[in-house]
């Protein structure tokens, strides 16, 4: 592991990959069934967020705004905007929950949303997520923690067969589903919080819903504290795991920084074997491990001669870099959206918090980029290969079903990267 | 005196047809029941297409982080396309507490040093407006320091809608750029294109025709635009407002200040493109130019008709329901009619009075003007036996349920449907939609369903 730069010295971001806290919170609330995320701020934050996720998932996105205007910003302490919003939302739909999260505007003027929330006579979870702090991961994490603190009932008993998964924000819907399936295969009943696997997985429903159309049910969230085991995935989820344990101190907690590659998956399987008492996993899992072993060997030649730039949220960054490292891929530069304890663990020559301008400055060091669709222009301009990962991906369809985790997803991910690297070299040689 | 535009004045637009009928600001949003973008987005839409200028968003990360590289506005600027480069001060809590002014000034210096743009547009956002950062002062100092225009854009999201933001964008250009330079030469046929953003290259579908006619586009706001050109915009003979109600304030003020008359038109579809070209020629008032234009229109229409022959059979007898907003409620309808498709209904819920009148004109007495298209469209499809639904993605379910073809009206953000040539793109996409089995196939019952 190489040099880590935790803080940028520039007075601005140029071609940012960083995303905001409220956007992360929105997504977390979309992983709760029948929820209406309510973003407290100007109408634009909500509009941008809605369009952003609609384009990424190719799905309608449920969200509303408290539509704070300049006059209201001066006169109101949040009471009017929030109470009116809840009233107006409930005129049209009946959400199971309203997920109230703030932006920079009400936080700057100091709205007491906790106080307002207490006055609202409707199921509501509130969370402070100013966009001048943190980023996508922390917003998702804070919303998840708020769901736990405000909804989960304390428990003193545990159900030995029950597991709670706390996935980080960059895990796509199918990845959450694959993880749930894997854990179930060890005889556990599994809940994920938040759970995008049944809401934003891109399924054709009976009709178009104005609320989140799937996800973990409110009742399930209330009863999470009787699980014997909690698995947090990604360092951004550690605080949520702690919050859950406070609801039941008898709960076992295992933390996994990410789930990409052979080692990380082996580590998870070892935990599940120990916790379940199983001697070995089911035949499907064993088979996929062999396929991943084979994939590592099949891909090592291409990846072993490839130098990478990886740009992502910290938890995903750690996962991608580990997966590439295992097959000999050389990550020369890993650019993170925000600072995180993960960065010290990232397997890369240089790790920095930065933007795509910083990535461009390091252009001579890499040939293939793994990053979001904003990297397309970069790849084009610098004649680099590109594998699109992370938020947003507006250029491709099927994002919710892209699986990079565990043995199975790990194999697919390596193949995609190895093929892209080979294609890039042929392309460069040819012209 | 403050250089900030008076929002009240902008909301009270005398050139708007509906001004007399509505007393309150058109766009006061309802908490919990609001869709649509904010003023900042409106300003971004109207000004970001200047690819030779840097666009610096002074605010927290949401504003730009979620929105850069979202609009495919094309440019022929030979330098780096700065429209597609995202610049933001990404302010943190310290800036909120102690002011973001230093950071903003440093960011401008950084941009001038590394990117040497022709100008920097500096956008206020809710948080930086609220904490009172002095945009005017910082821009004035930076202009002196760097010798290129620094344009403060006072359109923080919370002052209103996208529409208002576009007006505020126009206002910034009027105050800081227009009239600050003189063109090398002028011609009797110099025009400005206002509100044409060259999304997917729309403008380039008809620009060669204008050039052929000897009409010079002196400047644009802001499709394929140049800062140096818009500074000379006050010398144009005519302002041409393209499909954009929001910038009517700008053209009215330019008429008052510089005596430039304006016309409003659309380049969507065959008839509107022809009408538009002729309207420009007539407004320029040269008999010879008008004759030339008529000849060009005849040639282009014949040419287009030839190329549309293969589509005529496919579209014969086809009926469409159109669910979109604003001026598209009639401009797209017009294009569909040009293709021989009957438009049985169009949505006017979000259209202005003038747009509604136009929609009625195009659809005739039989056509339905839907005020609540979400609720009405399914019934109309049944009653009128429509074959095609053109709408935003949210209406896809309606089409599938009815087993009819669906086309996403927002495709125009990816592909140009403008001018004569663009109509062929539209024809091709609609033909593909009508022929695609998918809309019936996905509604198939599963083997386990009765």
Contact (CB<8Å) B63/A48: yes
Which residues of chain A are within 8 Å of residue B111 when distances are taken between CB atoms?
A: 12
Burial A36-64 (b: 16+ CB within 10 A, else e): bbbbbbbbbbbbbbbbbbbbbbbbbbbbb
Q: Which residues contact A15 (CB under 8 A, 6 or more apart)?
A: A355, A356, A357, A360, A374, A378, B68, B85, B86
The domains of chain B are located at 7-176, 190-299, 312-441
Report residue B364: phi and psi, to 5°. 75, 180
Contact (CB<8Å) A42/B157: yes
If you average pLDDT over residues B433-438, what whole number do you get? Answer: 96
Contact (CB<8Å) B87/A105: no
Q: pLDDT (tens digit, 9 = 90+) per residue, A346-359? A: 999 999 999 999 99
Give the model's pLDDT for residue A430.
56
Residues 80-99 of A with CB under 8 A from B: 80-82, 84-89, 91-92
| pLDDT classification of A409: cutoffs 50, 70, 90 | very high
Report residue A210: phi and psi, to 5°. -85, -5
Residues A176, A299 within the same domain: no
> Prior bond to B374 cis, omega within 30?
no
CATH number at residue A242: 3.40.50.1980
Residues A313, A347 within the same domain: yes
A63 occurs within a structural domain? yes
Does residue B364 have a pLDDT over 60? yes
Q: Which of A239, A267, A282 is the last residue of a domain?
A: A282
Greatest C-alpha distance within chain B: 76
**B393 in reach of chain A (CB within 8 A):** yes
Sheet arrangement for strand A35-40: A64-65, A35-40, A97-102, A124-127
Q: Are the CB atoms for B237 and B183 separated by under 8 Å?
A: no
Considering only CA atoms, which of A45, A240, A37 is closest in space to residue B158? A45
Q: Which residues contact B42 (CB under 8 A, 6 or more apart)?
A: B155, B161, B162, B163, B164, B165, B166, B167, B168, B169, B246
Please name the member of A11, A105, A204 whose beta carbon is closest to the beta carbon of B103. Answer: A11
Nearest CA in chain B to A105: B127
- Could you count the other beta carbons within 10 Å of the beta carbon of residue A167? 29
Which residues of chain B are within 8 Å of residue A108 when distances are taken between CB atoms?
A: 96, 127, 130-131
Which residues of chain A are within 8 Å of residue B41 when distances are taken between CB atoms?
A: 44, 47-48
Please name the member of A12, A67, A208 whose beta carbon is closest to the beta carbon of B88. Answer: A12
**B159 in reach of chain A (CB within 8 A):** yes
A3 occurs within a structural domain? no
% of chain A at pLDDT higher than 90: 94
Does residue B74 have a pLDDT over 90? yes
Q: What total number of domains does chain A contain?
A: 3
Taking the C-alpha atoms of residue A200 and residue A189, their distance in angstroms, rounded to an integer, is 22
Least confident among A256-265, A287-296, B46-55, B320-329? B320-329
Distances in Å between the Cα of B256 and the Cα atoms of B251, B253, B346 are 9, 5, 36
Residues 130-149 of A with CB under 8 A from B: 130-133, 135
- Could you count the other beta carbons within 10 Å of the beta carbon of residue A238? 17
Q: Which of A254, A282, A310 is the last residue of a domain?
A: A282
Does residue A431 have a pLDDT over 80? no
Q: Are the CB atoms for A108 and A73 separated by under 8 Å?
A: no
Residues A421, A309 within the same domain: yes
Q: pLDDT (tens digit, 9 = 90+) per residue, A306-347? A: 999 999 999 999 999 999 999 999 999 999 999 999 999 999
Give the model's pLDDT for residue A34.
97
Distances in Å between the Cα of A143 and the Cα atoms of A124, A125, A409 are 12, 8, 27
Min distance B161 CA to chain A CA atoms (Å): 8
**B132 in reach of chain A (CB within 8 A):** no
Residues A273, A307 within the same domain: no
Helix (H, G, I), strand (E, B) or coil at B134: coil
In this structure, which topology does domain B312-441 adopt according to CATH? Rossmann fold (3.40.50)
Taking the C-alpha atoms of residue A23 and residue B255, their distance in angstroms, rounded to an integer, is 43
Q: Is the dihedral of CA B339, B364, B360, B36 positive or negative?
A: negative
Residues A313, A278 within the same domain: no
Please name the member of A20, A43, A85 whose beta carbon is closest to the beta carbon of B38. Answer: A43
By CB neighbour count within 10 A (0-12 exposed, 13-18 middle, 19+ buried), where does A279 fall? exposed
| pLDDT classification of A86: cutoffs 50, 70, 90 | very high
- Could you count the other beta carbons within 10 Å of the beta carbon of residue A339? 16
Helix (H, G, I), strand (E, B) or coil at B380: helix
Domains B190-299 and B312-441 fall in the same CATH topology: yes
Cβ-based contacts under 8 A for chains A and B: 196
Does residue B23 have a pLDDT over 50? no
Residues A395, A306 within the same domain: yes
Residues 171-210 of A with CB under 8 A from B: 204, 207-208
**A23 in reach of chain B (CB within 8 A):** yes
**B65 in reach of chain A (CB within 8 A):** yes
Please name the member of A14, A88, A104 whose beta carbon is closest to the beta carbon of B31. Answer: A88
A30 occurs within a structural domain? yes
Considering only CA atoms, which of A58, A224, A55 is closest in space to residue A151? A224
Query: Which of these CATH numbers, 2.40.50.140, 3.90.730.10, 1.20.1050.10, 3.40.50.1980, describes B7-176?
Result: 3.40.50.1980
Helix (H, G, I), strand (E, B) or coil at A90: helix
Contact (CB<8Å) A43/B37: yes
Among A21, A71, A104, the strongest candidate for a mutation testing the B interface, having the largest count of B CBs within 10 A, is A104
Q: pLDDT (tens digit, 9 = 90+) per residue, B208-253? A: 999 999 999 999 999 999 999 999 999 999 999 997 778 999 999 9
Contact (CB<8Å) A133/B93: yes
Q: Are the CB atoms for B344 and B364 separated by under 8 Å?
A: no
If you average pLDDT over residues A115-132, what whole number do you get? Answer: 97
Q: Is the dihedral of CA B171, B177, B181, B187 positive or negative?
A: negative
Which residues of chain B are within 8 Å of residue A91 when distances are taken between CB atoms?
A: 33
Contact (CB<8Å) B127/A65: no
| pLDDT classification of A228: cutoffs 50, 70, 90 | very high
Residues A197, A166 within the same domain: yes
Nearest CA in chain A to B125: A105
Please name the member of A104, A108, A374 whose beta carbon is closest to the beta carbon of B69. Answer: A374
Give the model's pLDDT for residue A429.
67
| pLDDT classification of A74: cutoffs 50, 70, 90 | confident
By CB neighbour count within 10 A (0-12 exposed, 13-18 middle, 19+ buried), where does B45 fall? buried
A351 occurs within a structural domain? yes
The CATH architecture annotation of domain B190-299 reads: 3-Layer(aba) Sandwich (3.40)
Give the model's pLDDT for residue B409.
84
Taking the C-alpha atoms of residue A239 and residue B6, their distance in angstroms, rounded to an integer, is 47
Min distance B90 CA to chain A CA atoms (Å): 6
Considering only CA atoms, which of A316, A323, A333, A393 is closest in space to residue A369? A333
Q: Map tokens 């637009």 to a residue.
A: B13
Residues A425, A308 within the same domain: yes
| pLDDT classification of A210: cutoffs 50, 70, 90 | confident
Taking the C-alpha atoms of residue B149 and residue B138, their distance in angstroms, rounded to an integer, is 12
Please name the member of A18, A38, A65 whose beta carbon is closest to the beta carbon of B90. Answer: A18
Taking the C-alpha atoms of residue A348 and residue A360, their distance in angstroms, rounded to an integer, is 17
Report residue A391: phi and psi, to 5°. -90, 140
Contact (CB<8Å) B32/A48: no
Considering only CA atoms, which of A292, A184, A284 is closest in space to residue A231? A184
| pLDDT classification of B69: cutoffs 50, 70, 90 | very high
A14 occurs within a structural domain? no
Which residues of chain A are within 8 Å of residue B95 when distances are taken between CB atoms?
A: 132
Please give the span between the terminal C-alpha atoms of chain B, in angstroms, as a whole number.
Answer: 74
Give the model's pLDDT for residue B10.
75
Angle at B100 between CA B94 and CA B101, to 5 degrees: 145
Taking the C-alpha atoms of residue A286 and residue A316, their distance in angstroms, rounded to an integer, is 25
Q: Which residues contact A405 (CB under 8 A, 6 or more apart)?
A: A171, A175, A178, A179, A258, A259, A260, A265, A319
**B439 in reach of chain A (CB within 8 A):** no
Does residue B176 have a pLDDT over 80? yes
Q: Are the CB atoms for A224 and A191 separated by under 8 Å?
A: yes
Element holding A136 (H helix, E strand): helix A136-151
Q: Are the CB atoms for B190 and B166 separated by under 8 Å?
A: no
Please name the member of A44, A65, A394 whose beta carbon is closest to the beta carbon of B40. Answer: A44
Q: pLDDT (tens digit, 9 = 90+) per residue, A269-295? A: 999 999 999 999 999 999 999 999 999
A96 occurs within a structural domain? yes
As given in the structure block, the two tokens for residue B434 are 């009508």
Min distance B93 CA to chain A CA atoms (Å): 6
Give the model's pLDDT for residue B27.
54
Q: Map tokens 């001038």 to a residue.
A: B112
Angle at B257 between CA B253 and CA B261, to 5 degrees: 70
Q: Are the CB atoms for B308 and B339 separated by under 8 Å?
A: yes
Q: Are the CB atoms for A79 and A16 separated by under 8 Å?
A: no
Q: Which residues contact A121 (CB under 8 A, 6 or more apart)?
A: none
Q: pLDDT (tens digit, 9 = 90+) per residue, A229-240? A: 999 999 999 999
Q: Map tokens 């977390």 to a residue.
A: A28
Does residue A80 have a pLDDT over 80? yes
Which residues of chain B are within 8 Å of residue A65 when distances are taken between CB atoms?
A: 29, 31-32, 34
Enumerate the β-bridge partners of residue A100: A38, A126
Q: Which of A230, A254, A282 is the last residue of a domain?
A: A282
Range of the domain at A130: 21-134
As given in the structure block, the two tokens for residue A341 are 């304890």
Residues A239, A292 within the same domain: no
Please name the member of B35, B158, B400 whose beta carbon is closest to the beta carbon of A70. Answer: B158
**A371 in reach of chain B (CB within 8 A):** no
Min distance A226 CA to chain B CA atoms (Å): 35
Nearest CA in chain B to A54: B393
Taking the C-alpha atoms of residue B395 and residue B374, their distance in angstroms, rounded to an integer, is 8
If you average pLDDT over residues B81-102, what whole number do you get? Answer: 97
Residues A295, A273 within the same domain: no
A139 occurs within a structural domain? no
| pLDDT classification of B162: cutoffs 50, 70, 90 | very high
Nearest CA in chain A to B37: A44
Which residues of chain B are within 8 Å of residue A89 when distances are taken between CB atoms?
A: 32-33
If you average pLDDT over residues B315-325, what whole number do you get? Answer: 95
As given in the structure block, the two tokens for residue B239 are 């302002």
A73 occurs within a structural domain? yes
Contact (CB<8Å) B393/A108: no
Average of per-residue pLDDT values in chain B = 93
Q: What is the CA radius of gyration of chain B?
A: 23
Q: Is the dihedral of CA A284, A289, A292, A293 positive or negative?
A: negative
| pLDDT classification of B16: cutoffs 50, 70, 90 | low
Residue with more model confidence, A148 or B246: A148
If you average pLDDT over residues B295-303, what whole number do you get? Answer: 98
Contact (CB<8Å) A16/B68: yes
Which residues of chain A are within 8 Å of residue B82 when distances are taken between CB atoms?
A: none
Does residue B352 have a pLDDT over 70? yes
Taking the C-alpha atoms of residue B118 and residue B109, their distance in angstroms, rounded to an integer, is 13
Enumerate the β-bridge partners of residue B56: B87, B122
Residues A36, A104 within the same domain: yes
DSSP A132: T
Does residue B443 have a pLDDT over 90? no
Give the model's pLDDT for residue B325.
82
Considering only CA atoms, which of A28, A337, A62 is closest in space to residue A166? A28
Contact (CB<8Å) B30/A10: no
Contact (CB<8Å) B61/A16: yes
Give the model's pLDDT for residue A248.
98
Contact (CB<8Å) B61/A13: yes
Residues A298, A425 within the same domain: yes
Among B32, B43, B96, B446, the strongest candidate for a mutation testing the A interface, having the largest count of A CBs within 10 A, is B32
Taking the C-alpha atoms of residue B62 and residue A103, their distance in angstroms, rounded to an integer, is 9
Report residue B94: phi and psi, to 5°. -60, -40
Taking the C-alpha atoms of residue A39 and residue A46, their distance in angstroms, rounded to an integer, is 6
Q: Are the CB atoms for A220 and A191 separated by under 8 Å?
A: yes
């Amino acid at each position: 592991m190489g040099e880590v730069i935790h803080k940028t010295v520039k007075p601005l971001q140029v071609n940012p990959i960083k995303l905001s806290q409220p956007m992360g919170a929105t997504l977390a609330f979309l992983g709760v069934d029948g929820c209406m995320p309510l973003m407290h701020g100007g109408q634009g934050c909500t509009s941008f967020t809605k369009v952003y996720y609609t384009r990424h998932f190719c799905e309608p996105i449920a969200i509303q705004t408290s539509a704070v205007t300049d006059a209201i910003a001066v006169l109101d302490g949040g009471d009017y905007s929030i109470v009116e919003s809840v009233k107006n939302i409930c005129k049209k739909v009946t959400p199971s929950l309203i997920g109230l999260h703030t932006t920079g505007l009400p936080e700057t003027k100091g709205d007491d949303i906790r106080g307002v929330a207490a006055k609202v006579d409707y199921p509501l979870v509130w969370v402070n997520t100013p966009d001048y702090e943190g980023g996508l991961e922390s917003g998702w994490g804070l919303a998840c923690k708020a769901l736990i603190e405000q909804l989960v009932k304390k428990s003193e008993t545990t159900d030995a067969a029950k597991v709670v998964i706390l996935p980080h924000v960059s895990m796509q819907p199918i990845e959450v589903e694959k993880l749930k399936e894997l854990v179930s295969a060890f005889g556990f009943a599994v809940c994920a919080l938040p759970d995008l696997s049944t809401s934003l997985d891109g399924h054709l429903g009976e009709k178009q819903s104005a609320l989140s159309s799937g996800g973990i049910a409110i009742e399930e969230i209330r009863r999470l504290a009787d699980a014997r085991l909690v698995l947090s995935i990604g360092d951004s989820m550690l605080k949520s795991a702690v919050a859950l344990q406070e609801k039941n101190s008898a709960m076992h907690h295992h933390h996994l920084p990410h789930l990409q590659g052979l080692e990380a998956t082996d580590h998870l399987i070892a935990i599940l074997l120990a916790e379940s008492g199983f001697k070995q996993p089911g035949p499907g899992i064993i088979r996929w491990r062999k396929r991943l072993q084979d994939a590592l060997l099949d891909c090592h030649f291409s990846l072993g001669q490839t130098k990478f730039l990886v740009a992502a949220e910290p938890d995903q960054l750690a996962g991608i870099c580990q997966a590439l490292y295992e097959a000999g891929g050389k990550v020369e530069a890993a650019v993170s959206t925000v600072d995180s304890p993960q960065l010290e663990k990232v397997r890369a020559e240089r790790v920095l918090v930065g933007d795509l301008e910083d990535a461009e400055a390091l252009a001579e060091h890499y040939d293939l980029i793994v990053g979001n669709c904003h990297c397309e222009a970069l790849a084009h301009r610098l004649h680099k290969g590109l594998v699109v990962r992370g938020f947003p991906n507006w250029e491709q369809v099927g994002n919710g079903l892209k699986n990079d985790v565990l043995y199975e997803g790990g194999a697919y991910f390596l193949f995609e990267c190895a093929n892209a690297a080979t294609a890039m070299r042929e392309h460069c040689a040819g012209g | 005196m403050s250089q900030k535009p008076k929002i009240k004045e902008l909301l009270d637009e005398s050139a708007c047809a509906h001004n007399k009928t509505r007393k309150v600001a058109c766009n006061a949003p309802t908490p919990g029941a609001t869709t649509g973008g904010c003023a900042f987005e409106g300003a971004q839409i109207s000004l970001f297409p200047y690819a030779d200028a840097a666009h610096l968003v002074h605010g927290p990360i949401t504003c730009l982080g979620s929105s850069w590289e979202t609009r495919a506005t094309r440019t022929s600027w030979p330098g780096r396309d700065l429209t597609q480069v995202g610049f933001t001060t990404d302010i943190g809590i310290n800036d909120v507490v102690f002011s973001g002014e230093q950071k903003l000034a440093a960011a401008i210096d950084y941009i001038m040093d590394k990117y040497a743009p022709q100008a920097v547009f500096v956008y206020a956002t809710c948080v930086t407006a609220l904490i009172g950062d002095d945009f005017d002062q910082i821009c004035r100092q930076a202009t002196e320091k760097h010798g290129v225009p620094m344009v403060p854009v006072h359109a923080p999201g919370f002052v209103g809608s996208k529409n208002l933001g576009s007006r505020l964008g126009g206002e910034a250009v009027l105050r800081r750029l227009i009239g600050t330079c003189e063109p090398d030469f002028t011609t009797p046929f110099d025009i400005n294109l206002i509100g044409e953003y060259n999304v997917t290259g729309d403008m380039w579908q008809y620009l060669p025709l204008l050039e052929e006619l000897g009409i010079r586009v002196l400047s644009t706001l802001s499709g394929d635009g140049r800062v140096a050109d818009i500074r000379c915009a006050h010398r144009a003979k005519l302002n041409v407002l393209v499909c954009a109600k929001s910038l009517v304030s700008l053209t009215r003020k330019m008429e008052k200040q510089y005596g430039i008359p304006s016309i409003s038109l659309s380049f969507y579809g065959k008839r509107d493109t022809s009408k538009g070209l002729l309207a420009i020629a007539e407004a320029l008032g040269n008999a010879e130019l008008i004759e030339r234009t008529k000849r060009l229109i005849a040639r282009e229409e014949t040419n287009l008709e030839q190329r549309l022959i293969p589509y005529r059979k496919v579209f014969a007898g086809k009926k469409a329901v159109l669910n979109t907003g604003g001026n598209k409620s009639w401009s797209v309808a017009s294009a569909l009619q040009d293709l021989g498709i009957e438009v049985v209904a169009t949505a006017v819920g979000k259209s202005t009075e003038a747009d509604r009148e136009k929609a009625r004109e195009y659809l005739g007495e039989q056509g339905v003007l839907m005020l609540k298209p979400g609720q009405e469209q399914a019934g109309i499809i049944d009653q009128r036996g429509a074959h095609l639904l053109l709408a935003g993605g949210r209406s896809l379910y309606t089409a599938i349920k009815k087993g009819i073809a669906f086309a996403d009206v927002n495709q125009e953000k990816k592909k140009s449907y403008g001018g004569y040539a663009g109509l062929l793109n539209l024809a091709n996409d609609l033909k593909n939609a009508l022929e695609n089995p998918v809309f019936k196939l996905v509604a198939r019952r599963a083997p386990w369903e009765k």
